[in-house]
Chains A and B, each alone.
Chain A
């Protein structure tokens, strides 16, 4: 019985790379546009959840910029903390850092000096020369001890800053807040 021969295969088969290049360019464009290579004013902080938060869009408005103070746990490369790694509250004060624009201001004196210099140019009311109109946003980690944030508020108050904003994130399953009645 004659063997059936298969189809003749002629020469090497070269894959068509053009669609793959198209896809690669699209992916590259997407990741380049979504990348943030600027100076990190916002540290990687897990913000506490709140439903009554207001949209934060003033930061991009010229003349309405504010100072952002981050209160976050030191990274795993610097300090080993099993409590923080497990998502529990870490109450070791030395494990936490207060950072502004990437610089460490954990020392209250350093923080006070920086805030004083920053608040000075926003003292516009001659009747209240110590009151500064500077806005400060405190982005505290959700597991941070309240004492740290309280300390930052104290230092801010001492230099006349009263416009304090607390950073928070809206829970993923939260609706718009329903206002209570009677007030």
Chain B
């Protein structure tokens, strides 16, 4: 594209002069349009949290009931999300929480149990980031089976109790 002489200059050898100024204007407008419409996307990934097939609100009673579970309760307060495992006292930090979870998992394994899901039982007003954070820490600790507690659906008497 570059030439030895500027386009637009009076050149005695080139009888056809091309005015490129409007083209530059149009290109400026296009650049402005694409600059305004561009945005940087965050690097996304996924965390697989496949729900159990044999349980859930759609399924009937499961073939085998799993009694061993590591239930993580989460509720939101003004000072942040409070997390506790089972009936233990609330965990003050991520390390404390994971220490309890890992300890319980080790205890189940020593007892010969193979199915001990981590059940996240969070109230509806807990921020999603906090739930993902607990899920993430469990994945890092190689606890792959993580489930979410479903809210109990109330059915009036005569229509069958909740499953």
Contact = CB atoms under 8 A, between A and B. Distances in A.
B43 interface: yes
Interface in A162-180: 162-170, 177-180
B51 A153 contact: yes
Q: Which of B74, B123, B128, B143 has the most CB atoms of chain A within a 10 A radius of its CB?
A: B128
Interface in A1-51: 14-22, 24-25, 27-28, 31-32, 34-35, 42, 44, 46-51
Contact of A165 (B3, B47, B127, B130): B47
A130 interface: yes
Interface string B129-143: 111110110011111
Interface stretch (A53-61, A74-82, A101-109): A53-61
Given A18-B1, A21-B27, A51-B136, A164 B128 contact: no
A62 interface: no
A24 B125 CA distance: 50
Nearest to A170: B43
A169 B42 contact: yes
Given A52-B47, A162-B53, A182-B102, A35 B34 contact: yes
A141 B128 contact: yes
Given A14-B6, A128-B53, A142-B129, A24 B24 contact: yes
Contacts of B44: 42, 47, 53, 56, 167-169
B46 A167 contact: yes
Nearest to A155: B57
A27 B32 CA distance: 10
A125 B56 CA distance: 18
B35 interface: yes
Nearest to A46: B42
Nearest to B55: A157
Interface residues of A, number: 70
Contacts of A168: 44-47, 132, 136
Contacts of B131: 146, 149
Q: Which of A19, A24, A54, A168 has the most CB atoms of chain B within a 10 A radius of its CB?
A: A168
A47 to B, nearest CB: 6
Nearest to B21: A17
Contacts of B122: 146, 150
Contact of A180 (B43, B58, B102, B150): B102
A79 B22 CA distance: 42
A167 B37 CA distance: 24
A156 B53 CA distance: 12
B37 to A, nearest CB: 6
A144 interface: yes
25 contacts: A18-B3, A21-B24, A24-B27, A28-B27, A28-B34, A32-B34, A42-B44, A47-B42, A48-B133, A51-B140, A89-B125, A89-B127, A137-B46, A140-B128, A142-B129, A142-B132, A143-B128, A145-B127, A146-B125, A153-B148, A157-B57, A162-B51, A163-B48, A166-B47, A170-B43
